[in-house]
Chain A
Amino acid sequence: MTAVHDLDARLRTCIHCGLCLEHCPTYVDLCTEMDSPRGRIVLMRGLHERRIEPTPAVAQHLNRCLGCRGCETACPSGVRYGELLEHFRSQSGLPAESTVMPRLMAFANFYLFPYRRRMRAAVAMARAVRWLGASHLVRATPLARWIPDWMLRLDAMLPTTIDAAEPLRREYRAGPRDAQRARLFIGCVAEVLRPRTHRATIRVLNRHGCDVECPPAQGCCGALHLHAGRRGEACALARANIDALHGDAPVITNVAGCGAMLKQYGDLLADDPAYAAPAAEFARRVRDVSEFVATLEPVPPTRAMPIRAVYHDPCHLGHAQSVRSAPRELLRRIPGLQLVELNDGELCCGAAGIYNLTHPDIADRLAEAKLRRIRDTRAELVITGNIGCMLHLGARARRDNAPIRIVHTMELLDEACDPRTAPPPYNPDSEAP
């Protein structure tokens, strides 16, 4: 997003009808106008017109926003809420919330998450600790009181098992010489915490006759930075990725949050004379993997999976990229898979980047509500397209002792067309959650 020039007009696109209220997770949870999209736009406008001061209360209500953009889908008037929010978070001089936790989180957020190597080291440590049984022991002792809550939450969010994986190769050929090519965006969190998603994505693309390249110089997409108002860092990361992934092959991502960000590079760098054009060109090449695979010649899955499953729309895929039907279309190709729809499916599960760490209470309640609606459908499997949702919902389900298997769309597709497995009926219990 460029610094918003026509801010007045953009703020006034909101005609105060209120039709977005019930589509906003924080309004549904807290039931207060100042935690609704309309209320937040009024706050932004009040700040812009200097009719109100940026008090801690005002900051709190703006910071409580998940950035899920459910309101944009609901808004008939076409308010571009996400851009407004980013603008105000980066320029309005809002005071930071004053608790220690978000600061510590900010540290992990900016110095750990975006860098795969550091992150991998941190995770390795966490795993070692857990392997020693320490995290379990520590929690049972009075020591637990001295460990910051966010650290426990972060630990709880890590998957119970992190599979070991060979480092990604530079290239995975599909076979035929004239195969279509795609560049895989690797990102940070996904490759460290759930390497199997990328491997499955690569196999699915190969099977659909598409070569996959994984250029190593790429890095974090910068979404967390931008959403926290750190535009400069986000822009630097964007430029690095544009350079690393240059060419004309489509750029494929399997993380909804990254995809939404990559598609926004054009706007982000519009004021940068050297990068404006390449960034716009780059943004046009970005596709979510489900969106991309749906355009390829279909390869019918061979393995029947006669189970009841829900597809959970990640906000940054459904609301931010309007990709809703492609993943469903791909999943419907799996023989026997019974895809049911969620009530209130458009409401965020509370993951929202690091929201689950900065606003644990709201995030927990949203996950709980989402899991309750999932349970209402009597589904045994949740399929989605975003690592954040998978970790957040998984952690909450484990804590409730109600584990449910959560997989990425590509992982399930991969299993369903794996020629190495004979086609026995699929059994969700036979695999670790």
Chain B
Amino acid sequence: MRQINPQYLDELRRVVGPQHVAVDPGERHTFESDAFTLVRGRPDAVVFPASTEEVAGVARITAKHGLPIIPRGAGTSLAGGTIAIDGGVCVSLTRMRQILDINLRDRCARVQAGVVNLHVSQAVTAQGWHYAPDPSSQMVSTVGGNFATNAGGPHTLRYGVTAQHVLGATIVLADGSIVALGGTYDDAPGGDVLSLLVGSEGTLGIATEITVRLTRTPAAIRTQLAIFDSIDDASHAISGIIAAGIVPAALEMMDQATLTAVEQWLRLRFPLDAGAVLIIEIDGLEPGLDRQTDRIAGLCRRHGARDVRLARDDAERAQLWMARKKSFGALGRYGLSYCTQDGVVPPSRIPELMRFIADVGARHRLRVATVMHAGDGNIHPVLMYDENDPAQVRAVVAAGYEILDRCVALGGSVTGEHGIGIEKVRHLERMYDPDTLAMFERVRRAFDPDRRLNPRKVLAGGAPCVELLRPPKGIPA
């Protein structure tokens, strides 16, 4: 392990204040992982800056000492994006939680990177506005983390991912310089560098302030729960709805294993013998909504839905969404660790992929629960394992490769929204040809020549793969 050099620690303390630098091994231990727990890595120090200037100061110190620098928001990454594999300085942005400006006339808000996604919406709900990107982690994940992973969510189907809602950002680069990109309107001059940074997972710069677009809250909403005997029927209903040209605001699926866990927790009287349920939400102006609701219910029934229920009021709708959004967490009730995959396929291929996933789970003897943003074909098979059993840990990694390879073969991708992080570095290499990968690498070095920003994430840059995450035998490298 690298020796902790007291000199850089003193410099960090001078920049952010001594009480905002954590060096105790126990304290650093709590930063060993995020919501991805297959691999761990302890940073050498964690700093909690309060402003853009302090972040820039920290970056300059790491530059001077040649240390890795790892940005971190709420630590809900499901791809290990914040794990300090090689140590270094972790920059936790959670103290930066000020909403700096709300401008409803120009439909935007400027916030510090550590502001919690949901808090943006809460600040403007009363006026009839909200911040549209709604990852299921929105009650804790930060606008900065969402920016860095280009987060999506159930309502992405209609409103688009984070990239479509970011208008500008203040970025601290690896050397400590501060750049301001975009503004309060689309198409700010200077080329669209901003888009390059959205989704770059902290490898190109650290976002410290972000200007986001605000969206009018729809006048009317209908939310339905469709219950199916089998996943197959539910999958066909999804492709049926999309094929009929309907674009719901959200179209989500949960399978039986997920329902059971959620039910144990919330007791919402979900039918436990159902194979899968869909949550389908439409919104817009009141006239016409009921007709569309009926049409969707009809389509579901035609594809074998046993029952279609309409949420009667806001409280019922909120419950459905709570069940869906906390479903990953509820899966912990099976008493196992898990790894959440994040594949994408064209919606018409969902039935096929679901059968394949069931097959892979059975072959590796793994318990699998699946949740999906069905409308986008973004599928989250959750692979559960006992972390004390090395064979199961290997099986999880192998199953992940098989499933994501199949997604690519079906015309999809290895990540829909969780990002590459540390987990999918090798998967990315399987998805792109060497020339494309080399171009990505050149872009990265243009921003960060020494590759100190989140160094082992997204692109390996010549570093060896974390042993555990290597493609297992039998799967071509």
Chain A contact residues, CB within 8 Å of chain B: 9, 12-19, 21-22, 31-34, 38-39, 42-43, 46, 51-55, 57-58, 61, 75-79
The reply to whether B329 and A46 contact each other, CB–CB distance below 8 Å, is: no
Interface flags for B24-63 (1: CB within 8 Å of A; 0: not) read: 1111011111110100000000101000000000000000
Which of B24, B95, B116 contacts A55 (CB under 8 A)?
B24
Q: Are B139 and A15 in contact (CB under 8 A)?
A: no
> A12 CA to B24 CA in the complex, in Å?
23
Question: Does B416 touch A at the CB level, under 8 Å?
Answer: no
Chain B: which residue is nearest A9 at the CB level?
A: B335
Q: Contact at B333–A55, with CB atoms within 8 Å?
A: no
Question: Contact between A15 and B114 (Cβ–Cβ < 8 Å)?
Answer: no
A39: contacting residue among B30, B95, B114, B137, CB under 8 A: B30
The yes or no answer to B75 lying at the interface (CB within 8 A) is yes
Contact A58-B338, Cβ < 8 Å, known A16-B35, A18-B137, A77-B333? no
26 contacts between A and B (CB under 8 A): A14-B332, A15-B331, A15-B337, A15-B338, A16-B37, A17-B76, A18-B34, A18-B74, A19-B137, A19-B139, A31-B95, A32-B48, A33-B94, A38-B75, A42-B32, A46-B26, A52-B26, A53-B25, A55-B24, A55-B25, A55-B26, A76-B329, A76-B332, A76-B333, A77-B332, A78-B333
Q: Which of A51, A54, A78 contacts B332 (CB 8 A)?
A: A78
Within 8 Å by CB of B29, from A18, A52, A78, lies A52
Contact check, B26 vs A12: say whether CB atoms are below 8 A apart. no
CA distance A51 to B33 in the complex (A): 14
For the complex, give the distance between the alpha carbons of A39 and B37 in Å. Answer: 14
7 A-B pairs closest in CB distance: A77-B332, A76-B329, A57-B24, A58-B26, A15-B332, A76-B330, A39-B30
Query: Which residue in chain B gives the minimum CB-CB distance to A19?
Result: B329
Query: With a CB–CB cut-off of 8 A, which chain A residues contact B265?
Result: 76, 78
User: Chain A's nearest CB lies how many Å from the CB of B205?
Assistant: 22
Which residues does chain B contribute within 8 Å of A33, judged by CB atoms? 30-31, 46, 75, 92, 94
Interface contact B326-A12, CB-CB below 8 Å: no
Asked if A12 meets B387 with Cβ closer than 8 Å, knowing A31-B114, A77-B333, the reply is yes
Interface centre among B46, B262, B332, B387 (most CB of A within 10 A): B332
Q: Is the CB of A61 within 8 A of B27?
A: yes
With most chain B CB atoms within 10 A of its CB, the pick from A15, A16, A61, A75 is A15
Contacts of B92 in A (CB 8 A): 32-33
Question: What mask results when residues 309 to 337 of chain B are scored 1 for a CB within 8 Å of chain A, else 0?
Answer: 00000000000000000111111110101
Q: In the complex, what residues of B have CB within 8 A of residue A76's CB?
A: 262, 265, 326-330, 332-333
Bound form: Cα–Cα A52–B25 in Å: 7
CA distance A422 to B111 in the complex (A): 55
Listed residue (A32, A51, A57) with the most chain B CB atoms within 10 angstroms of its CB: A32
The CA-CA distance from A22 to B25 in the complex, in Å, is: 24
B 9-34 to A, binary, CB cutoff 8 A, 1 in contact else 0: 00000000000001011110111111
Min CB distance, B23 to chain A, in Å?
Answer: 9
By beta carbon, the residue of chain B nearest A39 is: B30
CB interface residues, B 83-102, toward A, < 8 Å: 92, 94-95, 97
Return chain A residues, CB-CB under 8 Å to B264.
78
B75:A18 contact, CB within 8 angstroms: yes
CB A81 to nearest CB in B, in angstroms, measures: 13
**Which residues on the B side are within 8 Å of A16 (C-beta)?**
33-35, 37
Q: Which residues of B lie under 8 Å from residue A79 when comparing CB positions?
A: 332
A208 to nearest B CB, angstroms?
Answer: 29
Q: Which residues of A contact B338 (CB under 8 A)?
A: 15
Task: Tell which of A13, A31, A34 touches B27, judged by Cβ atoms closer than 8 Å.
Answer: A34
Q: Is the interface of A mostly helix, strand, loop or mixed?
A: loop
- B137 surroundings in chain A (CB, below 8 A): 17-19
**Binary contact readout B339-357 vs A (1 if CB under 8 angstroms, 0 otherwise):** 0000000000000000000
With beta carbons under 8 angstroms apart, the residue of B29, B37, B48 that contacts A43 is B29
Contact for B48 among A13, A31, A38, A53, CB less than 8 A:
A31
Closest chain B residue, CB of each to CB of A36 = B30
The answer, yes or no, to whether B140 is at the interface (CB within 8 Å) is yes
CB distance from A415 to the nearest CB of B (A): 31
| Chain B residues, Cβ within 8 Å of A54 | 26
Which chain B residues (242-271) contact chain A, with CB distance < 8 Å? 262, 264-265
B29–A51 touching, CB < 8 Å? yes
8 Å CB interface, B411-430 against A: none
How many Å lie between the Cα of A29 and that of B225 in the bound state? 38
- The chain B residue sitting closest to A41, CB to CB, is B30
Which residue of chain A has its CB nearest to the CB of B322? A76
Residue of B nearest to A33 (CB): B30
Q: Is the CB of B328 within 8 A of A17?
A: yes
Q: List residues of chain B with CB within 8 A of the CB of A14.
A: 332
Contacts of B48 in A (CB 8 A): 31-32
Contacts A33-B75, A75-B329; is A22 near B140 (CB within 8 Å)? yes
Interface-centre pick from B29, B32, B116, B335 (highest chain A CB count, 10 A):
B29
How many angstroms from the CA of A18 to the CA of B31 in the assembled complex? 12
A22 touches B116 (CB 8 A): yes
A52-B29, A53-B26, A77-B333 known; A21 and B37 CB under 8 Å? no
**In the complex, what distance in Å separates the CA atom of A58 from the CA atom of B48?**
18
Chain A positions within 8 Å of B335 at CB level? 9, 12-13
Is the CB–CB distance between A12 and B337 below 8 Å?
yes
Residues on the A chain within 8 Å of B74, using CB: 18, 21
| Set B27, B37, B97, B140: member contacting A19, Cβ < 8 A | B140
- Among A58, A75, A76, find the residue whose CB has the most chain B CB atoms closer than 10 A: A76
Bound form: Cα–Cα A236–B114 in Å: 47
Contact A43 B26, CB 8 Å, known A12-B387, A19-B139, A21-B140: yes
Closest residue of chain B to A21 (Cβ to Cβ) is: B140
Residue in A closest to B264 when the chains form the complex, CB atoms? A78
Residues of A near B262 (CB, < 8 A) are 76
Please, which residues of chain B bring their CB within 8 A of the CB of A78?
264-265, 332-333
Question: What separation, in Å, do the CA atoms of A12 and B74 have in the docked complex?
Answer: 20
Asked whether, in the complex, the Cβ of A19 is within 8 Å of the Cβ of B29, the reply is no
Chain A proximity of B173: nearest CB distance (Å)? 24
User: Other CB < 8 Å A-B pairs besides A32-B95, A33-B75, 11 of them?
Assistant: A16-B33, A17-B328, A17-B332, A18-B76, A31-B95, A31-B97, A34-B22, A38-B75, A53-B25, A55-B26, A77-B330
Smallest Cβ-Cβ distance to B382: which chain A residue: A15
A22 to B76, CA, bound (A): 12
Q: How far is the CA of A18 from the CA of B34 in the complex (A)?
A: 8
Cα(A32)–Cα(B72), bound, Å: 11
- B24 to chain A: closest CB distance in Å? 4
- Determine the chain B residues whose CB is within 8 A of the CB of A34 once the complex forms: 22, 26-27, 30
Max chain B C-beta neighbours (<10 A), residue from A12, A18, A46: A18
If A12-B337, A18-B137, A32-B92 touch, whether A46 touches B24 (CB-CB below 8 Å) is no
Cβ–Cβ < 8 Å partners of B118 in chain A? 22
* CA gap between A21 and B94 in the complex, in Å: 11
CB of B464 to closest CB in A, whole Å = 24
* Alpha-carbon gap, A12 to B141, bound state (A): 22
Please name all residues of chain B whose beta carbon is closer than 8 Å to the beta carbon of A77 when the two chains form the complex: 329-333
A54–B25 Cα gap in the complex (Å)?
Answer: 10
Q: How far is the CB of B204 from chain A (nearest CB, A)?
A: 24
- B32/A19 in contact, CB under 8 A: no
In the bound complex, CA of A380 to CA of B140 (Å)? 32
Query: Cβ of A38: which chain B residues have Cβ within 8 Å of it?
Result: 30, 75
Distance between Cα atoms of A34 and B92 in the complex (Å) = 12
Q: How far is the CA of A77 from the CA of B333 in the complex (A)?
A: 5
Which of B35, B97, B337 contacts A18, CB < 8 Å? B35
Are B75 and A13 interface neighbours, CB within 8 A? no
* B139 and A42 form a contact (CB under 8 A): no
Q: Which residues of A contact B327 (CB under 8 A)?
A: 76
CB of B119, distance to nearest CB on chain A (Å): 9
Least CB distance, B70 to chain A, in whole angstroms: 13
Once the chains are docked, how many angstroms separate the CA of A18 from the CA of B26?
Answer: 18
Q: Once the chains bind, are B27 and A15 in contact (CB under 8 Å)?
A: no
Identify which of A9, A33, A46 gathers the most chain B CB atoms within 10 Å of its CB: A33
Point out the residues of chain B lying under 8 angstroms from A9, CB to CB. Answer: 335
Least Cβ distance of A386 to chain B in Å? 26
